[in-house]
């Protein structure tokens, strides 16, 4: 390892320690534990391992450039299906890391993720894996492009980097690194990372965001929300002209409600939610305040859907978003 590299390595580790207060059990130079990578976090023994590739901070730029080349190739490839196409469109870059120390920070992100739950042996209890859009397949969390919920999450992850679409774990670590670099990441991923930091027991982060987002169990529900799309506030003026945000979400509770009361509707039709709230055929005032009953005919299937949308007005909690309360297909 060059003296320059040792200096920067030390500096990076010191900065992370000062900022978060917790560190892996060790940072170990052991190339045999780092197949095909520069640095890796071992989820089981809680150590970060460094390989030969870590030797020279200046050579690392070449490796990064090579992966950017393969991103260009990847984008030129044929389109497979809608979700895959959207991921391709969203993908801005191969990885978030631009230099050698970014690889270390990415691995530190895995370390934070693992420590967000005391039980790291049971993969089913990996923190936030479901909120990141993961599905437990053969005992581990993966993205499943065939499920609307998981495919959507993978599309979001692609906004961070192509590497983030590998798995919910990589979405977390890439998102963590992007945030450390002061970049914007999708809100749904950011929320999981923020809560993981708190659960892992990092030092209080100076900007006080912690208290604004988390704390009471009521606020934690904000973490269970999934973006649906945006509305045009103009067309909802017939309900109220006091709408705080154009964003629409659905919560896990409401998804569960729809699944319980209207079996199969959620799985089959949730992909229409965005279109229904954006372009409803009819907007009817519901019998609750700031609540709209939407009717929409989806032409391709000749089906009519009824959706209830709660709009967030200025006297509501400003952290809330417009939210789908219920949804069903109307049988004729
Ligand atoms: Zn990783």
Q: Which residue has the higher pLDDT, 53 or 247?
A: 247
Which range has the worst mean pLDDT, 6-15, 188-197, 262-271?
Answer: 262-271
Distance 169 CA to ligand 1 centre (A): 7
Distance 105 CA to ligand 1 centre (A): 10
Integer Cα distance of 242 and 231 in angstroms: 14
Integer Cα distance of 67 and 138 in angstroms: 29
pLDDT digits (tens, 9 = 90+) for 120-169: 778 888 999 999 999 999 889 999 988 999 999 999 999 999 999 999 99
Distance 41 CA to ligand 1 centre (A): 8
Residue 175, pLDDT score: 97
pLDDT digits (tens, 9 = 90+) for 245-303: 898 988 877 887 787 777 777 777 787 888 899 999 889 888 888 889 888 888 777 78
Distance 103 CA to ligand 1 centre (A): 8
Q: Which residues pair with 243 in a beta bridge?
A: 313
Distance 304 CA to ligand 1 centre (A): 44
Distance 61 CA to ligand 1 centre (A): 18
Integer Cα distance of 144 and 248 in angstroms: 23
Distance 28 CA to ligand 1 centre (A): 17
Distance 144 CA to ligand 1 centre (A): 19
Rounded (10°) CA dihedral 97, 103, 107, 109? -40
Do the beta carbons of residue 310 and residue 326 sit within 8 Å? no
Do the beta carbons of residue 128 and residue 172 sit within 8 Å? yes
* Mean pLDDT over each residue of the chain, to the nearest integer: 84
In the predicted model, what is the mean pLDDT of residues 229-245?
90
Distance 307 CA to ligand 1 centre (A): 40
Distance 188 CA to ligand 1 centre (A): 19
Distance 86 CA to ligand 1 centre (A): 23
Distance 167 CA to ligand 1 centre (A): 9
Distance 104 CA to ligand 1 centre (A): 10
């Amino acid at each position: 390892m060059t003296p320059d590299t040792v200096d920067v390595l030390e500096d990076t580790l010191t900065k992370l320690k000062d900022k978060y207060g917790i560190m892996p059990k060790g940072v170990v130079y052991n190339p045999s534990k780092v197949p095909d990578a520069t640095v890796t976090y071992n989820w089981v023994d809680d150590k970060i391992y460094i390989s030969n590739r870590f030797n020279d901070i200046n050579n690392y730029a070449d490796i990064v450039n090579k992966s950017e080349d393969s991103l260009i190739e990847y984008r030129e490839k044929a389109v497979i299906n809608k979700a895959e196409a959207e991921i391709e469109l969203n993908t801005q870059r191969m990885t978030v890391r631009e230099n050698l120390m970014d690889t270390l920070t990415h691995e530190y992100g895995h370390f934070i993720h693992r420590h967000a739950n005391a039980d790291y042996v049971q993969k089913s209890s990996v923190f936030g894996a479901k909120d990141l859009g993961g599905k437990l397949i053969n005992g581990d969390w993966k993205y499943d492009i065939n499920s609307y919920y998981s495919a959507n999450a993978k599309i979001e992850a692609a906004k961070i980097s192509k590497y983030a679409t590998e798995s919910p774990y990589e979405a977390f670590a890439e998102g963590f690194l992007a945030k450390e670099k002061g970049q914007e990441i999708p809100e749904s991923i950011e929320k999981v990372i923020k809560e993981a930091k708190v659960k892992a027991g990092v030092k209080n982060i100076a900007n006080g965001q912690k208290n604004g987002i988390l704390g009471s169990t009521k606020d934690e529900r904000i973490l269970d929300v999934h973006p649906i799309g945006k509305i045009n506030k103009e067309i909802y003026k017939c309900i109220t002209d006091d709408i705080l945000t154009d964003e629409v979400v659905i919560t896990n509770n409401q998804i569960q409600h729809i699944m319980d009361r209207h079996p199969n509707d959620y799985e089959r039709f949730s992909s229409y939610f965005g279109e229904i709230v954006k372009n409803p055929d009819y907007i009817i005032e519901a019998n609750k305040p700031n609540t709209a009953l939407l009717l929409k005919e989806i032409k391709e299937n000749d089906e009519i859907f009824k959706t209830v949308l709660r709009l967030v007005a200025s006297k509501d909690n400003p952290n809330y978003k417009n939210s789908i309360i219920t949804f069903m297909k109307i049988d004729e």
